[in-house]
Amino acid sequence: MARLVVYGSSIPCPDMARLKGWLLRNEVEGMVVIDIHRDEEAYERVVGWTGHASVPTLVIAEDDGLEPLAPPEPLAGRRARAFDRGTMLTEPNPGQIEVLLERHGIPVRPRA
């Protein structure tokens, strides 16, 4: 089974604020959040995947993993922002989040 791993930051930024707002309205079972500014390995992973400390970076991982289920689509000269890479989505638009999760069978429940 797959789970959502959110590579984020406690340092304020508009993209993290948008994701936090989405998460206040929606529940994602089994989600894990990692602050890249408190976890050096996580920071290095995100920089390796995106070329920058880009947050939030959403990763579809095994239920006990932290890395993508399958290699994400290459950036091939594109910016990572809002580019759905199959198992990874960086700095997403709110409408992209649920699409990514549904595609991987991760349930999203609206909060009451």
Res. 94 pLDDT band, cuts 50 70 90 = confident
Please provide the average confidence, as pLDDT, over all residues in the chain: 96
9 pLDDT above the threshold of 90? yes
Phi-psi group of 34: left, alpha or beta (phi > 0 → left; psi -120 to 50 → alpha; rest → beta): beta
Tell me the domain boundaries of the chain.
2-110
Say yes or no to pLDDT of 39 above 90. yes
Q: Name the CATH architecture for the domain at 2-110.
A: 3-Layer(aba) Sandwich (3.40)
For the cut 90, the answer to whether the pLDDT of residue 52 exceeds it is: yes
Q: Which residues are CB-contacts of 78 (< 8 A; sequence separation ≥ 6)?
A: none
Helices (H), 53-103: 94-103
